[in-house]
Amino acid sequence: MNQVKNLNQKRVCDISDDRKTLFIRRGDCVTEVRANDDGTLIISHRKDQQLS
């Protein structure tokens, strides 16, 4: 995975090694954006379980 940072050097998102999936994390929510071969996008959201 490759990290993407903004101009303030803050981590914004992660891109998979095949560059087809983008992960955006805000708090305990993760948004996953996948690019299909036909150019469409699949967007899914999930709650990330925090480790105790």
| Residue-by-residue pLDDT tens, the chain, 52 positions | 999 999 999 999 999 999 999 999 998 899 999 999 999 999 999 998 865 4
The pLDDT value recorded for residue 48 is 85
The confidence score (pLDDT) of residue 36 equals: 94
Predicted confidence at residue 33, as pLDDT, reads 97
Residue 48: closest CA among 27, 33, 32: 27
The H or E element containing residue 14 is: strand 11-15
What does the alpha-carbon distance between residue 44 and residue 27 come to, in Å, rounded to a whole number? 16
pTM here is: 0.81
Give me the pLDDT at residue 52, please: 46
